[in-house]
Every structure is written in structure tokens, then in C-alpha cells.
Structure 1
Amino acid sequence: MEILYKSTRGTGECVTASQAILKGLSDDGGLFVPTQIPVLGIPVEKLASMTYQEIAYEVMSRFLTDFTEDELKACIERAYDSKFDTKEIVPVKKADGAYYLELFHGATIAFKDMALSILPHLLTTSAKKNNVKNEIVILTATSGDTGKAAMAGFADVPGTKIIVFYPKNGVSPVQEKQMVTQKGNNTYVVGITGNFDDAQTGVKKMFNDKNMAEELSNAGYQFSSANSINIGRLVPQIVYYVYAYATLYKNGEIKAGEKINVTVPTGNFGNILAAFYAKNMGLPIEKLICASNENKVLYDFFSTGSYDRNRDFILTTSPSMDILISSNLERLIYRIAGEDADKTREMMNELSKDGKYEITAEMRAQLKDFYGNYATEEETAKIIKKLYEDTGYVIDTHTAVAACVYEKYKTATKDDTKTVIASTASPFKFTRSVMDAIDHKYDAMEDFELIDKLSEIANVKVPNAIEEIRTAPVLHDTVVEVAEMPAIVKKLLNA
């Protein structure tokens, strides 16, 4: 069965998976969605005997139907290899009654590695399939993790360049050091004097700038995206939820067909949307628990049906979730609007113009799969400390937001369904916040002293991604105003 892709704001024209991956964003500003969600249709008993790579092929081949078996398997093989520090790629750890899906064992110790390890290969394969002659420029905004993971994936990949914009004072010291020390002749990192939403809006504007596209095309370049708006990012994320379910079954934690809940710390809505797609493929997921930090725009949306970004932007200890415009929510809006592109476009225009929109009562009724809540900074720190003291298991700040919201969900509903918590970053990525939560006595330590101390108390080896940046020189130090973003892109590309 062929799966094609259409825009959430379009008039019904369809493109192939490889064309959707290449474009990243539709010409009309919408996001690509599959014409239908394919059925997984593989018994869990069979899934349980498969490797991560084998499950990845089964899931992704159902979505990326214009890739040949050899093409897709080659992409998977190159992506999920020794750059991950565990053989199983995503271990599942049980702690305090929940199952933590550790998505941070890749090159940059965050869940973005799961999709950004394979996206460069999907993209270059897509370019060949569509006879693209231009060099592909990956243009992306990051709230901390996407940028580094994308650069690690694309560094020195022939036929590509990557330009990453990040909020200069809106990421953790480790996140920034990872980015500004990135090697690769085709990688560029630019700080902006603004927040993540400013960076993301600036990138979207460049994607929609027809004059700029023509100018760059004449210079031999075309834009594509590594943000979670690219369907080539979303599809690989579905895989690890299927793998988690198969692992729980294999380990005797659940019976075949038994439903589980999934809790995801959410900013841009891509990771939890992937779980929603997995559920719609037939994976037995009951409730999708959407966890927000103090920038609780998604919690308010699920509570009221109103999406309103007109609020103070709060810098928290979980910076990858410091987001007020959750781009991937548009894909869910499109679905609950009955795949009505006009209605979706209208709401997205309202968001752009007034900073808010409201869904109908009929649309709200279709959100029963979801539960939303949020964790304060104090609650986030408390749960890191409690989990460590009770079990010895150390989680990062983003995972802690999810763990806290899961506790609130259990208290509110008394639901004891077994629950997978997406553990989206290594605690070593946010060491100061994690160690501060465990005990204030560590406050006076330098960053790398703290890292060594965390390794000692958690009894976990310091990841290679951290060791590499201890003494790495800064290679990128450009900082610009938001309005200067197009100019710096042209300058970096000599266009």
C-alpha cells in the first residue's frame, strides 16, 4: 500500500515520502502528514524477537513506501550503529513503578539523536531519488538539543550544509558547548539575541521567502529542515514506542495486547505525536500523558481548548521545553478538524496574527486520548531528589517534568496502567540543575567537577559526548539579531 503525504494547509496535492522529506515544509506553510496511518500488523511475540534495527525497518517501511528495501535498510544500518553506547539502542529501566525509556544513548545524549542519526541518510537518499542537483542546506532552530544532534548527523555528509540558530542565553552550558565546538566543514552555528520561538519563527520566514529561495537556487542551494516539522524526523520517533512495548513484553512485564500509558515531556509536540501515531498504527497505548514545564501552553490547551501563546516566556531548568509555539500540534489539529485544511489554515493564521486560536467542542471531544498537566521548577527538582534517594536512579530535568506529571495523573485518576516515561536526555546534559536538585552542597563546584561527581553518585560512566567537549576549542562564535538571520545565512553560503 502506497502512503503519500499532503499538507495540513493545502488543497489536496500529494507528494511521496522522499519528496516530503526533501521539502521539510510544504510550500503553503503547512506540515506534511500521511494520507493515512498504516497498520503495524505484527504480533508482539514476533516484535519481541527483533532488534531495534529490525523493528525500525518494519515501522518505517510502512510510512516511507517509495524507498526500496535496500535503500531503507542501508539508512537504518548507517544510523543505528556504534555511535550508540548500548547494544539495544534504547534500554528500558524500571524505577519506582514506572518504565523509563532511555532515549539518550546516542552521539549527543538526547532523544533527538534517535531521529537525527537517520535523517541525513533519508535526506541524501531522497535527493538521489528525485534527481536533486542543488546542495541541500539544512536550516534549523534549536532549543538546545536538535541543533547539536542535527550537526552531529550532518557533519561532513557530502552534498549538504547545516546552519543552526539557537537562543544565545536560552540553553544549558553543556548544550551550548556541544554546539559551538562542533567540527565539520559544512556546519555553522549562530546565536541569536532572542528566545527559541524567535529563532523558529525566523527560520520559518526564510523557508517561506520565495525571493530568498530563488536567490539561493541560483547559487546552487535549496533549503530543507531537520526540525521536528520534517516528516523524516517524526517517522523514526514512532519506532521507539513500538520497541518499548516489545521490550516490556519480552521482559515479562506485560501480556500480549495489554494496554500501556505513555508519558512524554513535551515542548514542540513531536515526540508525543509520534506516540499518537504509534497508537493509531495499532500499538496498545491507552493514555498519552503530555507533560509541560512552567511554559504550560499545552497544558492550558488540553484544559481549555484554547491555544494562547500570549504570555511571559519563562526560562526553566528544562530548556528544550521552553517553547510557546508547539509546531507539531498543527498535525493533531488537522486530524481532529476532520483533515480540513481550510479550518487548520484559519487557526494557524490566527496564531500568527493574534497569538491564539480556539478549537471547537467537537474537536475537543477527540482529545480523549490525551491528558495534560505541568510541573513547576520546585516540583521538578523535588522528584529528581526523591527518585535518586529512593532508588539511586538519576534523571534529567526534562524527564523529571514527565515523572512529576505522571504522579499527578495517577493521583487524579487512580489509573494503575503500566506506564512508559520517555526519558529524553541524559542527566549529564543538565548536570548543574540535576545536582542542585539532589543537594545544594554541590553548588560551588565547576561544571566538569559536577559531571565527575554525578558519575560517582549515580554509578554511571561519563558519556563520550561529555568527555569530548572538556577541552574542545570553540569553533563557532557568531551572534546576530533576529532581523539579521537571512543576511547571515547568505553570508555563510556566499550566496
Structure 2
Amino acid sequence: MTTFHSTRSTTDSLTSKQAIRKGIADDGGLFVSDSLGDEHVDIASLAGKSYRQIAQDVLAKLLPDFTDEELADCIREAYGDQWSDPAITPLRPLGDDYILELFNGPTSAFKDVALQILPRFMARTTPAGGDEDEKIMILTATSGDTGKAALAGFADAPGTAITVFYPEGKVSQVQQLQMTTQTGDNVNVCAVKGNFDDAQSAVKRIFGDKELAAELAGTSHTVLSSANSINVGRLVPQVVYYFAAYAQLLERQVINVGDEVEFTVPTGNFGDILAGYYAKLLGLPVKHLVVASDRNNVLFDFLTSGTYNRQRPFYQTISPSMDILVSSNLERMLYYFSEKDTRLISMLMNDLSQWGAFEVPEPMLKSIRSLFGCGWADEDQVRESIRDCWERNRYVIDPHTACGYFVMQQMPRDPLTPRVLLSTASPYKFPRVVNESLGLDATGTDFECMDVLAEATGTTAPAALRGLETADVRFDDVVEIDAMEEYVRSAAEK
């Protein structure tokens, strides 16, 4: 039986349902399974399968205590008409390379792939101790995209409520409106004074507050859980799209079964690329995973030096969803690369929280670097990449995807290994930056910018984004970091 325990200790032994419901381990670690990779997905059978069929194959290996029927129901509900492309994550040619479109979901960002299915997983987990009245309060900090995708997934989902915190003034106008206009009786949205790392650290502290947990359980039958990629139920659905990309390459006869593929992934919190590592452990022939960062290049420095140091200036960039200095999911990767040494991980994370830095042993860094490459792009390079990608390929990318595009162009190309760039979001979420990059008019509102972009490129703004202009703003709360706990308390009482 596959069980889950913390990256920092082996005391827990939870099923995947319990791990998803709980979100984060009591000691602050993330849930991992030691049997990951024992079983492989049959890659020879991938070609010709639909996204839903591939999801069924992959998720059955990762979440074995869900029945086939439960998984099929979750998959059907999550990947239906709310997607604008029946392929869910279509692969498009991009010059000699490929781009995997992950933004065809309801909120136009890659987070939809996981956050459309997470509430369905949650609905099929059972309360601890059989408390039938127990509600789950999803608590999430967002650097821009997770918040809206989580709100869209959990709005009015039975037995749940959701509270999202975002850094005031540090998300795009479109991202902010996506959150503050969210409908649903069970949703709460609040800006915080600080950056994403401040908000995320506070959320982790709230999860670790035993007294608050007891109080919420007593007064409102509420347990807290997470929709950030610290939740294993948020991470595993992302593994599916790596297999979906491979299936599409097989179908087009770009590769034969067993041929290796390289993936370049724009990432701040490391979840999106960690999913590629999980795919490799499940038997996908992944040659390299390339981490693309923006100016907050803490992952680049770690992968080149072996030292992770968050004591550094924080930059607010034009790729706000990647403006992160503490990449939570790195902890899971370190666990597997340390040969599952919980004591070492506990020590490293303790160093990070006490001193703001940690260093991994040299042999461990060497094996990490044999799989993970890295690069980063500054703001000028991001703008230049958006323009270059349009001029060469007639394809419009957003500023996060542009970090990946820039890094991929810098990497040496092996003509025998196809390269796939994972996209982050629709360019229409960042129309001003995209217009500036393409030399178009960017003086009006974000909505006027969308219209200019559509006119100039012959593309269409997603209806849900364009419609934000006339949507009613429901939430305008702003709190200090240390008032977040009180906000959660009052949200739970509603």
C-alpha cells in the first residue's frame, strides 16, 4: 500500500486521500511517497489516447487509494467543457521546438490543470474522526495565478470554503480583478502588505498553529488545507501533461517510443518542474528539465552553486507569478535526491528558516545537475523574447513563458532531442507588457490593451478575461501580514 509521510520525518503514514485533505505535514514538511517510481506508466500505449485517458493511467499510479471510478469522475468533471481546447493541453510547433499550451482552462493559466481537479479530489476525502459536519477551509497565498485558479475550482464546492491572500500592488490588473470579482458564497479574497514570500510564510505559520487548529475545529468544525503546490493533490495532476506532451510527439511521429525529450519550464515555486521529475520517475524518457527563472533567480544560483540563499534583494518584475525567493517544492526534489534522508532535509530546512540559506552536499548537487539545467532572463530579455517569438513564429507568449523561451534559445540544441517549452499563462493576462514588447499601443486600460493586441495579432482574448471590465468587485480588504490569522478566523466563522 502506498503511504505518504513528511519530507522531514517518517512518523506519518497517510493514504493519498488523507495527505490531500491535510495539505501540509505537522512538522512543516511536505508529503512524499517512498513508492514513487516503483510502478511505471506504459508509454508504448500513450499515442492516440485522450488527455482524460492519460490522466486516468497516471493518476492511478500516484493516488492508488482512489478507486478507478472515483478518478474517472474527478477527471470527467475537471477536464470538460470549461476548457477551450478538447486536447486540454495541446502541443504546438514553435519553430524547430514545441510549446505545450497549459492556459486553455477557465482562468487562462497553467494552474487550472491542477486546480480544476483538486476540489474534486477533496470532495472524495473523508473527515478525520468521522466528523460529518467538518468543513475544509482552503488557505492559499498567491503570486498571481494560483489564487484565481483555486477560487474558480473551489467556488461553491460542497463542504469547502476558500481564503486567498495576494500581495497588494504586486499582481497585474487583470490578475487582481480575476480574484476580487470572484462569485461564490464560500470565497474570501484579501490583499496583504508585503510580497508573496511574506504571505506564503505567514500561511505556513497559520497551518502550523496548533492552538488555532483546535479553536477552528471546536467553534466552526473547520480544518485548514492548502491549494498551493505544497499540497500533493495540487502537484500530481501536473505530472499528467508531461505524458500528454509525449503522447502528442509520438502521434506526430516526431519521436519513437523510448526516445528522450527535454522540457524547459518557467518556474518560481518549483512545482511545475517537479512534476516533470515525477513523470521521469514514472518512466517518461525525460532527458533534461531546464529551470527558467526571472530576475529573482534564486533557483539558478542554487543549481549553479549548491547554496540556496533567500537573503537577497526581492525584485518586482513583469513576470509577477515567478517573483518568489522561497521555492517550496524544492524540498520534495531534495528529499528524493538525498536518497530519502529525512534527517538531512530537516536540517537543511532548519538552516533555511534560521539563517536564510542552506548548502547541499557536493555529490547530491552533482546528481541534481545531471538532470536539471537552468537559466534566467532579465526584464529586457523577457520583452525581447516576446517580440522575437512573435516575429519568428507568429505566436504570442506571456512574460513568464518568455523567460522559458529566452532560456531555451540559450541552451545548446541536440538535433535528435525534441524540446518542449511549457507555457504559463495566456498573453491576455499581461496585455500591457505584451503590447509594450511588440511595439503596440499600451497606454490605455488593460482591456483597451487586450483589444489592441487582438487586432494586431489576429488572436482573441479569452471571454472570461475580457469580461472582467464590467464585473463587480466584491473584495477590497487589505491587511498587514500579522493580521492574516485574524482574517482566517473571521472567514471561518462566516
TM-score, reference length from structure 1: 0.97
* TM alignment of 1:99-248, pairs within 5 A: 99-127=98-126, 131-133=130-132, 134-219=134-219, 220-248=221-249
Hey, what does 2:467 align to over in structure 1?
468
CA distance in 2 between counterparts of 1:132 and 1:449 reads 50
Hey, what does 1:445 align to over in structure 2?
444
Cα shift readout 1:305-361 (whole Å, capped 9, x = no counterpart):
000000110001110000000000000111122211111011101111111000011
CA contact (8 A) 2:79 2:88 kept: yes
CA contact (8 A) 1:18 1:129 kept: no
Hey, what does 2:399 align to over in structure 1?
397
CA distance in 2 between counterparts of 1:249 and 1:392 reads 25
Hey, what does 2:83 align to over in structure 1?
84
Instruction: Tell me which amino acid in the other structure corresponds to 1:312.
Output: P
CA contact (8 A) 1:194 1:482 kept: yes
Q: Kindly state the Cα deviation for residue 458 of structure 1 after the two structures are TM-superposed.
A: 2.6
3-state secondary structure, aligned to 2:125: helix
CA contact (8 A) 2:307 2:359 kept: yes
Q: Kindly state the Cα deviation for residue 4 of structure 1 after the two structures are TM-superposed.
A: 1.3
CA distance in 2 between counterparts of 1:143 and 1:191 reads 11
CA distance in 1 between counterparts of 2:265 and 2:85 reads 22
CA distance in 1 between counterparts of 2:252 and 2:162 reads 41
Distance 1:419 1:92, change over 3 A: same
Hey, what does 1:348 align to over in structure 2?
349
**What is the number of residues matched between the two proteins?**
491
Q: Kindly state the Cα deviation for residue 13 of structure 1 after the two structures are TM-superposed.
A: 2.9
Instruction: Tell me which amino acid in the other structure corresponds to 2:459.
Output: V
CA distance in 2 between counterparts of 1:56 and 1:113 reads 14
3-state secondary structure, aligned to 1:185: coil
Cα shift readout 1:360-399 (whole Å, capped 9, x = no counterpart):
1121121110111111111111011011112211000010
* TM alignment of 1:20-99, pairs within 5 A: 20-38=19-37, 41-99=40-98
Instruction: Tell me which amino acid in the other structure corresponds to 1:430.
Output: F
CA contact (8 A) 1:40 1:59 kept: no
Hey, what does 2:3 align to over in structure 1?
4
Instruction: Tell me which amino acid in the other structure corresponds to 1:334.
Output: Y
CA contact (8 A) 1:428 1:462 kept: yes
Q: Kindly state the Cα deviation for residue 126 of structure 1 after the two structures are TM-superposed.
A: 1.0
CA distance in 1 between counterparts of 2:116 and 2:187 reads 15
Distance 1:40 1:58, change over 3 A: farther
Cα shift readout 1:172-222 (whole Å, capped 9, x = no counterpart):
111001000000000000000000000000100000000000000002100
CA distance in 2 between counterparts of 1:274 and 1:176 reads 27
Distance 1:473 1:446, change over 3 A: same
* TM alignment of 1:282-297, pairs within 5 A: 282-297=283-298
Instruction: Tell me which amino acid in the other structure corresponds to 2:302.
Output: F
CA distance in 1 between counterparts of 2:252 and 2:2 reads 33
CA RMSD of aligned residues (A): 1.4
CA distance in 2 between counterparts of 1:7 and 1:65 reads 18
CA contact (8 A) 1:19 1:130 kept: no
Deviates more, 1:339-348 or 1:31-40: 31-40
3-state secondary structure, aligned to 2:411: helix
3-state secondary structure, aligned to 2:253: coil
Q: Kindly state the Cα deviation for residue 38 of structure 1 after the two structures are TM-superposed.
A: 3.4
Q: Kindly state the Cα deviation for residue 37 of structure 1 after the two structures are TM-superposed.
A: 1.5
Hey, what does 1:384 align to over in structure 2?
386
CA distance in 2 between counterparts of 1:249 and 1:416 reads 14
CA distance in 2 between counterparts of 1:132 and 1:369 reads 45
Q: Kindly state the Cα deviation for residue 43 of structure 1 after the two structures are TM-superposed.
A: 4.4
CA distance in 1 between counterparts of 2:414 and 2:69 reads 47
Hey, what does 2:487 align to over in structure 1?
488
Hey, what does 2:318 align to over in structure 1?
317
Hey, what does 1:253 align to over in structure 2?
254
Instruction: Tell me which amino acid in the other structure corresponds to 2:319.
Output: S
Distance 1:83 1:468, change over 3 A: same
TM-score, reference length from structure 2: 0.97
CA contact (8 A) 1:38 1:63 kept: no
CA distance in 2 between counterparts of 1:485 and 1:136 reads 18
CA distance in 1 between counterparts of 2:166 and 2:5 reads 29
3-state secondary structure, aligned to 2:430: helix
CA distance in 1 between counterparts of 2:41 and 2:203 reads 39
CA contact (8 A) 2:400 2:425 kept: yes
Distance 1:45 1:460, change over 3 A: farther
Instruction: Tell me which amino acid in the other structure corresponds to 1:288.
Output: L
Q: Kindly state the Cα deviation for residue 290 of structure 1 after the two structures are TM-superposed.
A: 0.4
CA distance in 2 between counterparts of 1:456 and 1:90 reads 25
3-state secondary structure, aligned to 1:171: coil
CA distance in 2 between counterparts of 1:217 and 1:493 reads 10
Q: Which segments of 5 or more consecutive residues in structure 2 lack a partner in the other structure? A: none
CA distance in 1 between counterparts of 2:347 and 2:58 reads 33
Sequence identity, in percent? 45
3-state secondary structure, aligned to 1:444: coil
CA contact (8 A) 2:443 2:449 kept: no
Instruction: Tell me which amino acid in the other structure corresponds to 1:380.
Output: V
CA distance in 2 between counterparts of 1:306 and 1:129 reads 39
CA contact (8 A) 2:41 2:61 kept: no
